[in-house]
Amino acid sequence: MNEVAKHEHTDFDRARDKYLKNAKRRGLSPASVTSYQRHIDRFTEFLRQRKRERVTDIRPRDLEAFASYLSKQDFSTTTCAQSRSILEKWLRFLAHEGEVDTSVFPATSGRRRKWSQDKIVSALKRLHRQGVAISYPGLRRAGHGNLTNAACRYFGSLTAARTAAGLNDS
């Protein structure tokens, strides 16, 4: 690989690796980390084709253009949505780290966030006391699918949220 090509890959790879290291620290499963890496790599390859060489070159419309690109490549609707979600998390992380401007990712709808780590832990403990199985199927059967989603968003996985709640044996 020539020196110019190395430089092109370095910034995106560094930003990806920094995010994935953080995701591992938050307790994301190895399979999820691999999936995140695949989505980020696919996006950064798309960006390189658009002559973006650094994370600071990412523009707000790049996410929309990438979503359109994926749908034209016959990726499923689920894969497209998953990719967008992962990439928005990555960009928010980079914005939080001061590496990209916050205008890079779409603004949230303005709705109030219902969950926090403390609320998730409290809900898991309460449901455990009520006899609800603290697992993906158990929580979904009991009508708490939103709690599993929140656990993944705030803790990286339901397992990590269970650990924080002291419910590892559930």
- Tell which residue, 113, 112, 124, 111, has the closest CA to residue 151: 124
Residue 109 lies in a domain: no
What was the pLDDT predicted at 7?
A: 44
Q: What is the pLDDT of residue 111?
A: 46
Are 14 and 54 members of one domain? yes
Claim to verify: residue 91 and residue 41 sit in the same structural domain? yes
Which residue in this structure is represented by tokens 């006899």?
131
Task: Name the nearest CA neighbour of 50 among 36, 71, 64.
Answer: 64
What pLDDT shows up at residue 73? 87
Same domain, 22 and 91: yes
Closest by Cα among 51, 29, 50, 32 to 40: 32
Does one domain contain both 22 and 80? Answer: yes
Least confident of 7-21, 61-75, 80-94, 154-168: 7-21
The pLDDT assigned to 41 comes to: 95
Number of domains comprising the chain: 2
Mean pLDDT of 76-97: 86
Residues 88 and 155 placed together within one structural domain of the fold: no
pLDDT at residue 3 greater than cutoff 90: no
Evaluate whether residue 111 is within a structural domain.
Answer: no
The CA distance from 151 to 110, in Å, is: 21
pTM of the model: 0.58
pLDDT for the residue 79 = 86
24, 98: one domain: yes
Q: What is the CATH number of the domain that holds 89?
A: 1.10.150.130
Q: Which residue matches tokens 């609800």?
A: 132
> Do 54 and 125 share a domain, yes or no?
no
Question: Are 89 and 141 within one domain?
Answer: no
Confidence of residue 4 (pLDDT cuts 50, 70, 90): very low
**100/140 same-domain check:** no
State the alpha helices, DSSP H only, in the chain.
3-25, 30-49, 60-72, 77-96, 117-129, 136-141, 145-155, 158-164
Which domain does 89 fall in, by range? 3-104
